[in-house]
Chain A
């Protein structure tokens, strides 16, 4: 029931941009795209969310395609501390089940 597809792992060089893709081809009009990450042995941490416009905050940028069937999370200057599992989630705005899926393990290398 995750409704999203992500690559299991990705590598990124320290200081470079990390671009993490997510497919959500069955997304419906009232579902948002959320990104969380989980650093080893910690609880997941909220990163960013969006509906149809691109979003940017102090942590990352979120690019959502015009048809909303896919999105990309961008960490502009990855550091070693960004090594984590990144989860892409789609859901409606109201309280409900929240499926995390398997996520993408991002390895930032020196």
Chain B
């Protein structure tokens, strides 16, 4: 079946511009996660959604970052007034609980380059 998809796969933008990154989770998955991975680094947790709600937004690096999820499905991560340090791969994952166990399935990521 279809996995997690993200768009765009690559994004080049100029410093100061806003960008929107999209995540389409696996159908029926109630939880959705956003991570950031800078070059050669591990994954940095940003935010997760349970349904349309985000119980914990503390991982967002600054108030320039925001995310929303509508209809319990698609999520959008928005970065306003982008900075060069925002350049990274942004990964999305979705999951559901089966027998009390959660397994996250990741998308291919969006590679963001801020010039």
- Say which size band chain A's interface belongs to: 20 to 34
Interface centre among A45, A85, A98 (most CB of B within 10 A): A98
The A interface is mostly helix, strand or loop, or mixed, namely loop
B104 touches A97 (CB 8 A): no
With CB as the reference atom, state the residue of chain A lying closest to B95.
Answer: A95
A43 touches B102 (CB 8 A): no
8 Å CB interface, B76-106 against A: 91, 93, 95, 97, 100-106
- Once A43-B93, A43-B106, A43-B109 are accepted as A-B contacts, the answer to whether A98 and B45 lie under 8 Å apart by CB is yes
Q: Which chain A residues lie closer than 8 Å to B93 at the CB level?
A: 43-44
Which B residues are closer than 8 A to A by beta carbons? 4, 30-31, 33, 35, 42-43, 45, 48, 50, 56, 59, 91, 93, 95, 97, 100-109
**Can you identify 16 A-B contacts, CB atoms within 8 angstroms?**
A32-B101, A34-B103, A43-B4, A43-B93, A46-B103, A49-B101, A87-B42, A94-B97, A95-B30, A95-B50, A95-B95, A97-B48, A98-B33, A98-B48, A100-B42, A101-B42
